Structure 1
Amino acid sequence: MLQQFGFTQYESQVYQALITSGQVLDATGIVKMSGVPRSKVYEVLQRLLEKGMILESTTEKKRLYSALPLEAAIEKLKAHFESNVQEMKKVHRKSAPVDDRVWTLKDNHSIQSVMKELLDGARKSIIISGWEDDLQFYLPLLEEKYKHGLKIHIHVIGVIESIIPSIITLIPDSRHEHLERSRILIVDEQEILFAGIEESKWQSIRTQSRPMVKFFTEFFYHDVALTQITQKYRDTIMEDEEIQKILFNLRY
């Protein structure tokens, strides 16, 4: 119950026993209901008391315990979390040299969080490519950066409405069966994040390596050029079966 908030298994078991019993319990009752060993229960109760998650009373030389009401516990955990977040924001990292290592990151939510962090830290320029529903997630931040004078270049698969003028739109052909979801983010011409789906799961790489930054910048403008050429000369291109076959085999 509480383990996901940083409590131990025994602490979680004791709190759950108290909150679900609906009554005050002594140590013996807590041992029976929680499954926590008697040799550990007093230690666990003391930690929960110090954390403000339970209440203690002494009646006729007997110690009794009650759980902090659930709504109060939720408010306490929320306040504690917010306090920790604010403390983290106060930490200032020292300027670090260019890190040319390639870092891998999995899980879509983690990748989205890192992308927002990179976008938020951008100071000069942003190059970003992705699908319409993906880019909508970042659009408010992108527009805010544009209002602050950053150069923003977007390549989107699908259609988005934005105040940002430099948006290149690709409407995929229904016959383009191999086109896969991906994201490219290049910040200040110094750092890139590329994400794609492998075996139905998002995976990404992140690096400040100059050759990699240059490669993915060229990759982005390759997509932009291909999109514009295809749109402008679509009728002519689609008459050529060989070119058509190549285009429809592109993955990104």
Structure 2
Amino acid sequence: MRDVVEQLQRLGMSGYEAKAYVTLVGSGQPLNGYEVAKRSGVPRSTVYETLGKLVAKGAAYEVRGAEDATDYLPLPPRSLLERMRREFDDSIESLQASLPTIVAPPEAHLIHNLKDAGALLARAEDVVAASHTDLFLSIWPEEMKRLSPLVRRAVGRGVDASVMHFGPAEEVVGHLYEHRFSTPDVIMENLGCRLLVVAADRREALIGGFLGGSAWGVYTEDPAVVLMAVEYIRHDIALQIIADRVGHESLREFWTSDPEFTRLRAGRGRPAALLRAAGCPAPELPAG
């Protein structure tokens, strides 16, 4: 019952209204105000006001009871949910038309920090859910479990999703490429944490890192940062495709022996230090 009350509150009912409605639904027969107060925990001093609000919303009906008293019946749950869905959809459509007309041009591109795993993943979900045309992700299995349903929905509505996945994927969504050159354990050793990059519609991006229970991240609409995030993922995907086409051993030979590649790899280990300085803790090393 507590969960149902909380969900009804999220959809616009007050706590008392939700408790009274759930009590009416669970009774199976009309109830008067005294009975609703006794069964629901709504104070007797406010129960009739609460029931009146439910009636005004169409979530309950007044009926004549014994001795011409007023009893109350609930709107059936299926009808209530359909009504709430219609009202919610109508509000969204109205806001989609009206909100953009009052938005002031930003004086600076939006950017904000994310301090924990919950906030980071919730913001990543926002980015994926808001995508309309294209979506780029560089992601590890731990985070993909949370984002996969939203990515699947995005693909279902026509979004072109490109996913760079570190390790085997439980489910292939969009254009998914497994990062095998270099292997995930080598990447983890170099970076020091699981890096998450999400970019949508070339207009917003999220970059963060996870290690154990700790996380850090940043969200931005800065076009330069968004461009770099998209190109980072595109080039990583391109390297995986090249490795598959020419052979991993051949590419690895170039990677380890060519002087230009050697020069580019000279900074190996620095990303981990920089990320740790930004808030991602150092990985725990095995004893000995």
Match of 1:29 in 2: 35
Q: Deviations over 1:182-240 (max 9, x none)?
A: 1242644x54332443654776422233554465467557756876689553146569x
**Could you tell which deviates more after superposition, 193-202 or 17-26?**
193-202
Distance 1:36 1:163 in 2: 50
Q: CA deviation at 1:144?
A: 4.3
Q: Deviations over 1:28-66 (max 9, x none)?
A: 111111111121111101100011111101343311111
Match of 2:183 in 1: 173
- Give 1:46-125 correspondences, 5 Å limit: 46-59=52-65, 60-91=67-98, 93-94=100-101, 96-97=105-106, 99-104=108-113, 106=119, 108-117=121-130, 119-120=131-132
Identity of aligned residues (%): 21
Q: Which amino acid aligns with 1:4?
A: R
| Residue 199 (structure 2) aligned to one of 179, 185, 193 | 185
| Residue 209 (structure 1) aligned to one of 222, 247, 268 | 222
Q: CA deviation at 1:10?
A: 0.6
Q: Relative to total residues, which structure has the larger helix share, 1 or 2?
A: 2
In 2, are the aligned partners of 1:13 and 1:34 still within 8 Å (CA)? yes
Q: Which amino acid aligns with 1:130?
A: S
Q: CA deviation at 1:70?
A: 2.5
Over aligned residues, Cα RMSD in angstroms? 4.4
| Residue 11 (structure 1) aligned to one of 12, 17, 20 | 17
**Could you tell which deviates more after superposition, 98-107 or 137-146?**
137-146
Q: Which amino acid aligns with 2:17?
A: E
Tell me: CA distance 1:170–1:45, structure 2 relative to 1, closer, same or farther (3 Å): same
Tell me: CA distance 1:222–1:3, structure 2 relative to 1, closer, same or farther (3 Å): same
Tell me: CA distance 1:41–1:203, structure 2 relative to 1, closer, same or farther (3 Å): farther
Tell me: CA distance 1:29–1:114, structure 2 relative to 1, closer, same or farther (3 Å): same
Structure 2 residue ranges without an equivalent (≥5): 276-288
Number of positions where the alignment pairs a residue of Structure 1 with one of Structure 2: 236
Q: Which amino acid aligns with 2:138?
A: G
Structure 1 residue ranges without an equivalent (≥5): 147-151
Q: Which amino acid aligns with 1:234?
A: R
Distance 1:236 1:9 in 2: 66
Q: Which amino acid aligns with 1:173?
A: T
Q: TM-score, normalised by structure 2?
A: 0.61
Distance 2:125 2:52 in 1: 40
Distance 1:163 1:67 in 2: 44
